[in-house]
Amino acid sequence: MSAVTELPESFTPVEATGRRRKPLRSRAYKWFRVCALVLVVLLLLAPLAWMVLASFKTNVDIYDAAKSLIFTPTFENYANVLARNNYFVFIFNSFWVAFASTLLSLLLGVPAAYAMSRFSMQRSALVVLMARIIPGVSLLVPWYYVFSNLRMVGGFSVLILSHMFVALPLIVYIMMSYFDSLPLELEESAQVDGLSPIGAFRLITLPLSVPGIMTAGILSFIFSWNNFMFALVLSGSSTKTLPVAIFDFVSYASIDWGGLMAAATVVTIPIMVIALFTQKYVVSGLTAGATKG
Amino acid sequence: MAAVLTPVRKTAGQSFSDWANAHRKWLFAAPAMIFVGLLIVFPVAWTLYLSLTDASGSVRADSDFIGPDNYLTVLTDTDRFWPAAGRTAYFTVSALAVELVLGMCIALLLWRPFRGEKWVRVAILLPLVATPVAVGMMWRLIFDPNIGFANQMLGWVGIPPQPWLSGVESALPTTIFIDIWQWTPMIVLILLAGLTSLSDEPDEAARIDGASAWQRFRYVTLPLMMPTVIVAVLLRSIDALKTFDILYATKGKGGGSFNEVETLNIYAYGLSFDYNKYGLSSTVLILFFLIIVGIMFFLTRRRKGTN
């Protein structure tokens, strides 16, 4: 059978994405693909499963190779993490810092991205994006100096400010590519109908960009939740965030592996659940601007 | 034009909103720029100043201006600085290379539709959103020389246990492996977005001309994907150069010394917060910053070049 006569079959499936994608033909390749993908999924998930399994083991069982998979689960580690180590406070801290810094960054970042997209302010955008490029360590010493003089180190405001610094460039980058894709005509016709330019932004563009704002907000929340370095230096004992609190289970002499894995699971699970429910937004945020070239 | 139609008399509110509308460009952009500017410009200027002094000890301590001495010290330091720079390059280049090749393979596997696509996408998303410090701790358990699953597995096939993270030779490659585990999915997502936005026609035309699968990838898909590949390299290299969380989680507190994995980022962090040598660490940071900006400049030039 020649390649040309095969063509019509390849036109069948219409994907939900609106793009036509061809099914594959070779049976051998199909099997190869199934095996390869199973392997990929296994390699990506097995370590996470291992972490969760270890969090249900006693430290004695963790040391026992024979009890890798079959063991009597214990909730002792979680009880220890949540009750004795006050993890509810750290969960609240992480949540509050991520939430506040995301909200404030959206407030600053969305209008900025709009202006930068509409008036193609390339250089100004570059200033904001520089914040992505600079190594965080180089900002920590001056920040520490200034904020400790202002008696802010150890408080929430300094953590929120430093996390905004991570969130803002991310939000500007995502929203710029989102606004670039919104047609200008909608606003122009709203202005012809009597709205002021800012009114058109507020009543037409902003409602239309809700999916973009969701994407930017969710991604900024995830990055803030996971951020470690700024909180390591700038948080106090009562404002510690979860990634910093994990280290409570590590001392120089020994590691409480069960507790440590329970703590690691407690940090990771909430953010994974959020990401799973908002998959579409997370993926579009991570790939924003990637296909424009 | 709206102004012509409105009545002559204006209230204060109206004239403010007229002003706001006329200046909306800067009204919108300025707050974000001022915020980022205050948090960047001052620190960078201060870092630059500190790099010319012998500041050490307390952050508030007096320090003397010593000119370019720190730069001479750092640039001739074959003990710590150059090895750290080498490790940074080694980490970034090898992690990126593996992530790109693996990422391209996985993206190609996912390209055409199949049953269970959704589940594979979920699996790909999970490492990306997992907290890096927790990921570091998780691998620290798996790679533990005595109780780790990695050595248990080697035991099954009769290979003697390896020191992994605690070995002088193996520590850096092991952290690179962790970086690959966590960030290959990012490359997959970016490349997959690029692949699905490609038009089918060039590939179809090559198929009709009798090109093999490899030829179609090499001479049709890959050249069309180059802009996306460069975006992926750009985004990933920015973060790989600055890797901190995973190195700190696996080698910090209770994990031995940083010596084997001391990249520029870790070196500068240690100089600042463990040894309080602010002058010297500022110099390292300024040099590090120049290197990053240089690489970004080069890559964005390449990116424009391929368009």
| CA B185/CA B105 separation, integer angstroms | 11
Amino acid at A268: T
How many angstroms separate the CA atoms of A193 and A212, rounded? 26
Q: Which residues in chain A have Cβ-Cβ distances shorter than 8 Å to B207?
A: 3
Picking from A2, A137, A221, A254 by the largest number of B CB atoms within 10 A of its own CB, the best residue to mutate is A137
Tokens coding A139: 């900002």
Looking at residue B239, its amino acid is: D
- B36 to A233: CB separation less than 8 angstroms, yes or no: no
CA distance linking residue A89 with residue B100, whole number of Å: 40
Residue B235 has pLDDT above 60, yes or no: yes
Nearest to B228 among A19, A272, A293 (CB): A293
What confidence category does residue A4 fall into, taking pLDDT thresholds of 50, 70 and 90?
very low
Q: How many residues does chain B have?
A: 307
* Cβ–Cβ gap B134/A290 under 8 Å: no
A258 to chain B: nearest residue by CA? B141
User: Is it the case that residue A25 has pLDDT exceeding 80?
Assistant: no
Is B39 contained in some domain? no
Domain ranges, residue B70: 47-306
Tell me how far apart the alpha carbons of residues B17 and A191 are, in angstroms, rounded to a whole number: 15
Residues of chain A above pLDDT 90, percent: 51
A and B: number of Cβ contacts within 8 A: 304
Residue A89, SS3 per DSSP = helix
Identify whether B7 is part of a domain: no
Is this prediction's ipTM beyond 0.85? Answer: yes
- Cβ(B266)–Cβ(B248) under 8 Å? yes
A28 vs B: CB within 8 A: no
Interval B8-19: pLDDT, tens:
566 777 788 888
Under an 8 A CB cutoff, do A136 and B110 touch?
Answer: no
Q: B303: pLDDT confidence band, cut at 50, 70 and 90?
A: low
Chain A residues near residue B119 by CB distance under 8 angstroms: 41
Compute the average pLDDT of residues A73-90: 89
The answer to whether the beta carbons of residues B26 and A115 sit under 8 Å apart is yes
Interchain CB contact of A129 with B (< 8 Å) = no
* Mean pLDDT computed over B87-91: 96
| Interatomic CA distance for residues A57 and A65, integer angstroms | 12
Nearest to A62 among B43, B47, B147 (CB): B147
Residue B26, in any domain of the structure:
no
Q: Which residues of B touch A21 (CB under 8 A)?
A: 111-113, 196
Residue A20 DSSP code: B
Q: Which residue of B has its CA nearest to A253?
A: B254
Alpha helices for chain A (secondary structure H): 3-6, 27-55, 59-62, 76-79, 87-118, 122-133, 137-149, 156-181, 185-192, 197-200, 206-208, 210-226, 229-234, 242-245, 257-277, 279-286
Q: Which residues contact B127 (CB under 8 A, 6 or more apart)?
A: A44, A48, B135, B181, B182, B183, B185
Q: What is the DSSP letter of B161?
A: P
Give the whole-angstrom CA distance, residue A89 versus residue A22. Answer: 51
Residue A24 has pLDDT above 80, yes or no: no
**Number of independent structural domains in chain B:** 1
Measure Cα distances from B54 to A140, B70, B82 in Å. Answer: 18, 8, 21
Chain A nearest CA to B63, separation (Å): 14
Contact A98, A164 (CB under 8 A): no
| CA pair distance B139, B179, nearest whole angstrom | 11
Residues of chain A numbered 29-88 and touching chain B (CB < 8 Å): 33, 36-37, 40-41, 43-45, 47-48, 50-51, 54, 62-63, 65, 68
Establish if B20 belongs to a structural domain. Answer: no
> Residue B106 sits in a domain of what CATH number?
1.10.3720.10
- B25 lies in some domain: no
| A211-225, B93-107, B247-261, range with the lowest pLDDT | B247-261
Is residue B128 included in any domain, yes or no?
yes
Contact A135 B29 (CB under 8 A): no
Q: Is residue B172 part of a domain?
A: yes
User: What number is the average pLDDT over the span A284-290?
Assistant: 85
Is residue B141 assigned to a domain? yes
Indicate the DSSP class of residue B160.
P
Inspect the interface and report whether the beta carbons of B114 and A145 lie closer than 8 Å. Answer: no
* Three-class DSSP category at A14: strand
